[in-house]
Amino acid sequence: MNSIEHFINGKITKGFSKKTSKIFNPATGEQTAEVNLASKNDVDLAVEKAKHAFTDWSRKPPAQRARVIFKFKELIEKNSDEITKLIVSEHGKVYEDAKGSLTRGLEVVEFACGIPHLLKGEFSENVGTDVDSWSIRQPLGVCAGITPFNFPAMVPMWMFPMAIACGNTFILKPSEKDPSCSIKLAQLFKEAGLPDGVFNVVNGDKETVDALLTNKDVVAISFVGSTPIAKYIYEKAAKNEKRVQALGGAKNHCVIMPDCDLDQAVNGLMGAAYGSAGERCMAQSVAVAVGKIGNQLVNKLAKKVESLKVGPGLDKNSEMGPLVTKQHLEKVEGYVDLGVQEGAKLVVDGRNIKLQGYEKGFYIGGCLFDNVDKKMRIYKEEIFGPVLSVVRVRDFETAVNLVNEHEFGNGTSIYTRDGDVGRTFATKIKIGMVGINIPIPVPVAYHSFGGWKRSLFGDQHMHGPEGVRFYTKLKTITSKWPKGIASDPEFVMPILN
Ligand code: NAD
């Protein structure tokens, strides 16, 4: 059985702990590996190495750090097929989708190559007579990232290239469901010339995470995952005096206005609801049909959902792969059962799908509910599978209120031809990322990614300018060169003039 270990201080490191977790190929349902789960001792070792490496790495000129990042970017491009296949083999998503997610991660690496420009501070000459003042941004120290299963390359890449380019060292704790990609990225970073100890990967579960949250030498925590765990991480990290950004779950609404180009909206929704089998934090899981558009929308969607091509991720014909684990499949199927019990109309039922030759794979077909009500649990809770709920509302204002009243605030979209409606929507909506005739409004690397409400705990979004702010602290220096006679002592608050 293939055993996945940790990557500490520049090499694959066998853990002290004997605890393991199973890794499956979701397409076949077979176990392919087991991953070692780090104990507190493993975490402490990684932190010690990262702390040691920080001294030199943080003092390296930013341009020299950027050269290593640039080489890393080239190596990711060269190895993109292998990394993509690792994503497919442990997550299950289809090859082109996996490749797209790697590219979105790569864009953050590209952005990080230009970080020297963003580390520049501000300078004011003569704030008092012969007194100058300037600010600089300095790295924090040892930072840690804890990431979810659904983007095994992209989400870690929102974090560690940014932190490391800013001069920090980093410990990544990827999802225990698909950890291989992180180990591969660590090996490539070393090949690019990254000094040992700057980037470390510890695999593990809650015990590993808790060891990171309580280690006094870890100064900042970046987290992406479900809302209950995000809240736990936020509270525990803050209690242990760490800087923290914790991104949580989502229930993204796509508002369909009666004046929209319906074919465009339906195609957009299909990709946004069923792409990656709905296992995306920016998946559109609620379609809000405004006014008379409901019947037409549901009819068009139903035809497309019924003909979705479900299959293994490496099959070029597959549009949607399996779910990540058997447990997750059962959870999603349970939500479909629940929706029926709650009285929603199941227009397309993807349960009980069987694929010849892949009978043990974790597959579910696309599911479509109509007449979903805001009191139902299938509306309120995140399902994280290929299940789209249609909610019908009277008018635009009701649609806006519906979106704003939901506890999550990650992403949303509106389809309309009316510029004023689009603009009003963008202004009034209480959501972090908004699309106007764009189904999945994921910001590019040089903007920042993050939701509102219970989709983000903490105050800084990830990557882009907010990422630089998160991974650096500000220092402001005021200076004067001595000349001539010493000035008398002053006992009042100094006023520089
Ligand atoms: P999860 O919360 O179960 O796990 C995320 C990470 O936390 C993993 O590394 C896991 O090992 C760790 N973890 C799990 N339970 C823990 C516990 N009790 N204590 C400490 N650590 C724990 O999430 P998941 O199932 O891997 O990923 C899916 C979730 O992530 C969805 O809710 C999705 O919306 C969310 N997500 C959000 C974003 C975003 O940007 N907001 C992006 C991707 C995924």
pLDDT by residue, tens only, the chain of 497 residues: 899 999 999 999 999 999 999 999 999 999 999 999 999 999 999 999 999 999 999 999 999 999 999 999 999 999 999 999 999 999 999 999 999 999 999 999 999 999 999 999 999 999 999 999 999 999 999 999 999 999 999 999 999 999 999 999 999 999 999 999 999 999 999 999 999 999 999 999 999 999 999 999 999 999 999 999 999 999 999 999 999 999 999 999 999 999 999 999 999 999 999 999 999 999 999 999 999 999 999 999 999 999 999 999 999 999 999 999 999 999 999 999 999 999 999 999 999 898 999 999 999 999 999 999 999 999 999 999 999 999 999 999 999 999 999 999 999 999 999 999 999 999 999 999 999 999 999 999 999 999 999 999 998 999 999 999 999 999 999 999 988 777 788 888 877 66
Q: How far apart are CA 477 and CA 309, in angstroms?
A: 61
Report how far ligand 1's centroid is from the alpha carbon of 408 (Å).
Answer: 15
CATH of 2-248+455-477, one of 1.10.490.10, 3.90.79.10, 3.40.605.10, 3.20.20.70: 3.40.605.10
Q: Is 199 in the pocket of ligand 1 (CB under 6 A)?
A: no
Ligand 1 atom nearest to 173, measured from its CA = 9
**Residue range 333-366, pLDDT digits in tens:** 999 999 999 999 999 999 989 899 999 999 999 9
Is the CB of residue 339 below 6 angstroms from any atom belonging to ligand 1? no
pLDDT of res. 497: 65
Distance (Å, whole) CA 462 – CA 162: 9
Helices and strands in the chain, H and E counts: 16, 23
Q: CA nearest 83: which of 59, 60, 100, 65?
A: 100
> Could you tell me if the CB of 182 is within 6 A of ligand 1?
no
Give the nearest ligand 1 atom to 149 CA.
26
Tokens of 108: 């953050």
Query: What's the pLDDT score for residue 208?
Result: 98
Q: Are 372 and 379 in contact (CB under 8 A)?
A: yes
Give the number of other Cβ atoms within 10 Å of residue 329's Cβ: 21
pLDDT tens digits, residue range 430-441?
999 999 999 999
Residue nearest to atom 35 of ligand 1 (CA): 225
Query: Is there a catalytic annotation at residue 281?
Result: yes
Domain parsing of the chain, residue ranges: 2-248+455-477, 252-436
Both tokens of 36, joined, read 């070692």
* Cα distance from N-terminal residue to C-terminal residue, the chain: 73
Among residues 143, 254, 260, 281, the one annotated as catalytic is 281
Residue 458 Cβ < 6 Å to ligand 1: no
224 Cα to the center of ligand 1, angstroms: 6
- Where does residue 302 rank: exposed (0-12), middle (13-18), buried (19+ CB within 10 A)? middle
Model's pTM, two decimal places?
0.96
What CATH fold (topology level) applies to the domain 252-436? Aldehyde Dehydrogenase; Chain A, domain 2 (3.40.309)
The alpha helices in 92-153, defined as continuous H runs, are 95-113, 115-118
CB burial of 192-220 (b: ≥16 within 10 Å; e: otherwise) equals bebeebbbbbbbbeeebbbbbbebeebbb
> What separation in angstroms does the CA of 8 have from each of 396, 484, 491?
53, 55, 53
Mutation choice for ligand 1 from 212, 281, 328, CB with most ligand atoms inside 8 A: 281
Q: Give the closest residue (by CA) to ligand 1 atom 43.
A: 281
pLDDT of res. 188: 98
DSSP letters spanning 265-307: HHHHHHHHHHGGGG-STT-EEEEEEEGGGHHHHHHHHHHHHHT
**Ligand 1 pocket residue status of 344, Cβ below 6 Å:** no
pLDDT at 483: 82
Q: Look at residue 457 in the predicted model and tell me its pLDDT.
A: 98
Collapse the DSSP code of 223 into the 3-class scheme (helix H, G, I; strand E, B; otherwise coil) and give the result: strand
Cβ–ligand 1 contact at 366 (below 6 Å): no
